[in-house]
Amino acid sequence: GQQLNQSPQSMFIQEGEDVSMNCTSSSIFNTWLWYKQDPGEGPVLLIALYKAGELTSNGRLTAQFGITRKDSFLNISASIPSDVGIYFCAGQSVSGNTPLVFGKGTRLSVIA
């Protein structure tokens, strides 16, 4: 099946630093979504991307849909302690009801 390679697996950063994580795939996706998951909770949608090259921001978060449609990155600027959690990328390969394929997640730790 389709696989998403998400990196890095984990990050330890100082509060105030910027963060970047990315996902790559060997196949094309039509939609990229970025989620954040806190311990014991469900994934919360952060940003949705629908078009190759699209750059979308949500507060301090910025995500881009790669031109090749095989990758996406998420940047977090000026990190704060509440940014701690696991960030997942998810891709959908065709329009309609196809399921999401998830990356393995990036665990972010912020040191105050």
Partner 1 sequence: EPEVTQTPSHQVTQMGQEVILRCVPISNHLYFYWYRQILGQKVEFLVSFYNNEISEKSEIFDDQFSVERPDGSNFTLKIRSTKLEDSAMYFCASRQGGEQYFGPGTRLTVT
Distance CA 104, CA 26 (A): 15
* Residues at the interface with partner 1 (CB under 8 A): 31, 33, 35, 40-45, 48, 50, 88, 90, 92, 95, 97-105
Q: Choose among 3, 2, 4: nearest CA to 106.
A: 4
Closest CB 37 distance from partner 1, rounded Å: 8
Nearest to residue 11, comparing CAs of 25, 23, 2, 21?
Answer: 21
For residue 64, the minimal CB distance to partner 1 (Å) is 16
CB of 104 to partner 1, least distance (A): 5
